Amino acid sequence: MGRIGSALAGARRAAPDAATRGAPGTASPLAEGDATARAALLGNPARTEGLPAGLPSQGPRGAAAIAAQLRRAITDGLYGYGDRLPPEREIAKTLNTSRTTVRSALKQLEDARLVARKVGSGTFVVHGTRQDERDIAEITSPLELIEVRLALEPRMVRLAIIHGTARDFDHLGEALAQVEQSNGDTEHFTRWDLAFHLALATATRNPLMVWVYRQVNHVRNHTQWSAMKDKVLTRERMDAYNQEHRALYEAVRARDVTRATDLILRHLDEARIDLLGADST
Ligand SMILES: [Zn+2]
């Protein structure tokens, strides 16, 4: 299941909780409010990436459902500001729908000012540029980001184990399967690592935790880290991180709080040490 697929899963997951206001997985008013009206595209280097394979085939779906899936991938921060969405034909193929439906879904996102379409170059995300978000991303170093994650994620993992459902852990497993297929691709690794940790946040079932973690993702998408990651993320490190991801996933699945919190601490502390090493070279 892809980023887009996970986004849909989130929407599906929310359905039984529909009575619970602000349950994770529902489109929160905060996430909706993020949609900033920013028509002008900055000169970000566009990253293009196919939708990962493995989406369940669910038969033809309408433009609204496709738009909801894409919207969620964007508001979750899985596609950051300036990112180029995959081409229409690729989205259509991955989501098993027609190009006409995809075009209509993209039009809805454009009307909601989440994306802008540039003739000849594609569809770009123009969401997530609210001034305070940009400011915090610009003044937070990768090391400061890791320090915040160290403060946040051990507790997050604990809450994920206490409140997460089997379905939540399935989504965590799907993100794990994707990050494990990185094959040395730093871009793929970063996106799916981000989705893996976001799946943990979602499993806490705490709307504020999910919101806070989305902000972490927005900072992670920022160029300071983008510039850093090629230095830090060697093939060996990605493989080592993925072993930690799998061990963490298994501990969460087994609802072993002590082991899981210990593993997330080690995972982030290793990232911190790797960053310090990269900084001094
Ligand atoms: Zn990770």
Question: pLDDT category, 46, cuts 50, 70, 90?
Answer: very low
| Cα–Cα dist 176/238, whole Å | 13
Interior angle at CA 207, CA 192 and CA 128, nearest 5: 55
Of the candidates 97, 127, 157, which is a domain's last residue?
127
Find the 216 Cα to ligand 1 centroid distance in Å: 13
Quick one: pLDDT at residue 49? 37
Per-residue tokens: 200? 């943990």
- The least confident of 31-35, 245-249, 257-261 is 31-35
Residue 135, pLDDT > 70, answer yes
Looking at every residue in the chain, the average pLDDT score rounds to 77
Which of 88, 84, 74 minimizes the C-alpha distance to 46? 84
- Beta-carbon neighbour count of residue 71 at 10 Å? 24
Q: Both 181 and 158 in a single domain? A: yes
Range of the domain at 47: 3-127
Q: Both 176 and 225 in a single domain? A: yes
Find the 197 Cα to ligand 1 centroid distance in Å: 6
Which of 92, 52, 86, 85 minimizes the C-alpha distance to 195? 52
Q: Both 80 and 13 in a single domain? A: yes
Find the 125 Cα to ligand 1 centroid distance in Å: 24
- The least confident of 54-58, 91-95, 156-160, 213-217 is 54-58
Going 198 to 52 to 49 to 12, the CA torsion angle's sign is negative
Q: Both 151 and 233 in a single domain? A: yes
Q: What is the pTM of this model?
A: 0.61
In sequence order, the 6+-apart residues with CB closer than 8 A to the CB of 140 are 148, 219, 222, 224
Q: Both 148 and 272 in a single domain? A: yes
Q: Both 116 and 141 in a single domain? A: no
Q: Domain holding 146: CATH number?
A: 1.20.120.530
- The least confident of 99-108, 148-157, 216-225 is 216-225
Quick one: pLDDT at residue 232? 83
Q: Both 53 and 173 in a single domain? A: no
Quick one: pLDDT at residue 38? 23
Find the 59 Cα to ligand 1 centroid distance in Å: 33
Q: Both 72 and 144 in a single domain? A: no
Q: Both 175 and 105 in a single domain? A: no
Find the 60 Cα to ligand 1 centroid distance in Å: 34
How, if at all, do strands 122-125 and 115-118 pair? antiparallel
Q: Both 38 and 172 in a single domain? A: no
Residue reference for tokens 């940009």:
134
Of the candidates 110, 127, 144, which is a domain's last residue?
127
What is the greatest pairwise CA distance in the chain? 53
Q: Both 105 and 183 in a single domain? A: no
Find the 261 Cα to ligand 1 centroid distance in Å: 13
Residue 215, pLDDT > 80, answer yes
With residue 101 as reference, give the H or E element that holds it: helix 99-111
End-to-end CA distance of the chain: 38
Find the 205 Cα to ligand 1 centroid distance in Å: 20
Distances (CA, A) of 100 to 57, 105, 118, 197, 223: 18, 9, 18, 34, 34
Q: How many domains does the chain have?
A: 2
- CA-CA-CA-CA torsion for 81, 84, 86, 92, nearest 10 degrees? 70
Quick one: pLDDT at residue 220? 84
- The least confident of 172-186, 213-227, 253-267 is 213-227
Q: Both 138 and 92 in a single domain? A: no
